[in-house]
């Protein structure tokens, strides 16, 4: 029976045979998809990272901006702030993705990066009413096939939790302008706190960076009622830190993790294959997640 099933899935999910798809245990992936299919859309939830997971890494050889980098617009911040944010990015991003350093070593450095950037942004007295224009003028771009992804989840009433260490207000504006901010979308992120005149004065709540998503997942679990009673999880991320985004799910049954490996490919390939169930190497599309969802919903 398994042999026939393997044959079946090979013909039904041809996307899994693309050479950009790496799997440690193809058999386990197939069995998990099969189990999720039997349980149906009513038992499924999708948890996804945002920057460089739902958004593209690059387009026409140019890096696509993260939510923080979308703020790099003269409507919002001055030249000096741009320069300082770039310097911080050049210092800390290589650390974030460094395969030779442990998460423990990276943790305090990520807190440092995010804290410094948020302080710089607060000094700029960013205006809430300018955010939407800055997103319009940016080259922010969701992955090819994003519309099928968001629309299918909405049609099937499958909750989508977007869990981002980026800036929540900017993230919301990106999905709103792409017309996919459907009612099934829930967001955990760093939200801006504006004073009564609409000027940025702080960031709300506990800071979320790339490697503390577990704490965020646990502290938000109770308030996300729509996600309860859905034990099957499709998780999408581009950082190893994203793997903890499902830690708040109570009594999970099947968790299938997909990792986008965008950068430092050779250095991180082995680590990613050992950590995610499916690794997508330099794949700027949602084709594989869409094919899997097409199978389950």
- Contact set with Mg ion (CB under 5 A): 49, 51-53, 238
Outline where the chain has alpha helix (H).
2-12, 26-39, 67-70, 79-96, 103-123, 131-137, 146-155, 168-177, 213-220, 265-275, 287-296
Helix (H/G/I), strand (E/B), else coil: 167: strand
Question: Using the rule CB under 6 A, is 165 a contact of ligand TMP?
Answer: yes
| Position among 85, 131, 160, 258 found at the interface with ligand TMP (CB under 6 A) | 85
The interface partner of residue 85, options being ligand TMP, Mg ion, none and the CB cut-off 5 to 8 Å by kind, is: ligand TMP
SS3 content of the chain, % helix, strand, coil (to 5): 50, 20, 30
Q: Given the complex with Mg ion, which of 41 and 268 has the nearer CB atom? A: 268
Q: Given the complex with ligand TMP, which of 7 and 219 has the nearer CB atom? A: 219
Residues 86, 162, 278, 246, CA torsion sign:
positive
- The rounded distance, in Å, linking the Cα atoms of 55 and 231 is 26
Tell me the DSSP string of 189-230: EE-EEE-TTSBEEEE-SS---TT-HHHHHHHHGGG-GGGTT-
Question: Using the rule CB under 6 A, is 32 a contact of ligand TMP?
Answer: no
Kindly state the smallest distance separating residue 271's Cβ from ligand TMP, in Å. Answer: 16
Q: What's the DSSP call for residue 164?
A: E
Q: Is 49 a catalytic residue?
A: yes
Q: Which stretch binds ligand TMP (CB under 6 A): 112-120, 217-225, 253-261, 263-271?
A: 112-120
Question: Using the rule CB under 6 A, is 216 a contact of ligand TMP?
Answer: no
Listed residue (171, 98, 89) closest to 135, CA to CA: 171
Q: Which stretch binds ligand TMP (CB under 6 A): 61-69, 140-148, 191-199, 264-272?
A: 61-69
Neighbours of 279 (CB within 10 A): 25
Give 186: exposed, middle or buried? Use CB within 10 Å, 0-12, 13-18, 19+: middle
Question: Using the rule CB under 6 A, is 51 a contact of ligand TMP?
Answer: yes
Q: Which stretch binds ligand TMP (CB under 6 A): 98-106, 150-158, 159-167, 272-280?
A: 159-167
| Position among 15, 49, 284, 287 found at the interface with ligand TMP (CB under 6 A) | 49
Residues 117, 119, 124, 125, CA torsion sign:
positive
Question: Using the rule CB under 6 A, is 113 a contact of ligand TMP?
Answer: yes
Q: Given the complex with ligand TMP, which of 48 and 254 has the nearer CB atom? A: 48
Q: Is 169 a catalytic residue?
A: no
Q: Given the complex with ligand TMP, which of 73 and 210 has the nearer CB atom? A: 210
Binding residues for ligand TMP (CB under 6 A):
49-52, 66, 68-69, 85, 89, 96, 113-114, 117, 164-166, 210
Residues annotated as part of the active site: 49, 51
């Amino acid at each position: 029976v398994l042999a026939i099933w393997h044959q079946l899935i090979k013909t039904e999910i041809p996307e899994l045979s693309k050479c950009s798809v790496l799997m440690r245990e193809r058999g386990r992936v197939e069995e998990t998809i099969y189990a999720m299919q039997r349980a149906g859309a009513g038992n499924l939830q999708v948890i996804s990272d945002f920057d460089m997971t739902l958004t593209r890494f690059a387009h026409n050889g140019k890096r696509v901006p993260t939510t923080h980098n979308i703020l790099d617009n003269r409507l919002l911040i001055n030249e000096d702030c741009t320069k300082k944010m770039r310097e911080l990015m050049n210092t800390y991003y290589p650390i974030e993705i460094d395969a030779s350093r442990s998460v423990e070593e990276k943790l305090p450095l990520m807190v440092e990066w995010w804290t410094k950037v948020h302080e710089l942004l607060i000094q700029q007295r960013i205006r809430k009413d300018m955010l939407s224009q800055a997103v319009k003028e940016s080259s922010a771009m969701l992955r090819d096939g994003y519309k099928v992804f968001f629309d299918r989840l909405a049609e099937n009433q499958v909750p989508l939790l977007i869990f981002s260490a980026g800036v929540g207000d900017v993230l919301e504006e990106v999905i709103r302008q792409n017309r996919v901010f459907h009612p099934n979308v829930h967001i955990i992120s760093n939200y801006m706190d504006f004073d009564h005149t609409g000027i940025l004065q702080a960031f709300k709540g506990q800071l979320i960076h790339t490697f503390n998503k577990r704490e965020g997942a646990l502290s938000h679990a109770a308030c996300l009622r729509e996600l309860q009673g859905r034990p099957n999880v499709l998780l999408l991320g581009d950082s190893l830190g994203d793997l903890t985004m499902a830690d708040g799910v109570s009594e999970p049954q099947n968790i299938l993790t997909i990792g986008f490996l965008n950068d430092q490919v050779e250095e991180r390939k082995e680590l990613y294959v050992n950590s995610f169930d499916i690794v997508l190497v330099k794949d700027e599309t949602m084709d594989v997640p869409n094919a899997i969802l097409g199978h389950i919903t």
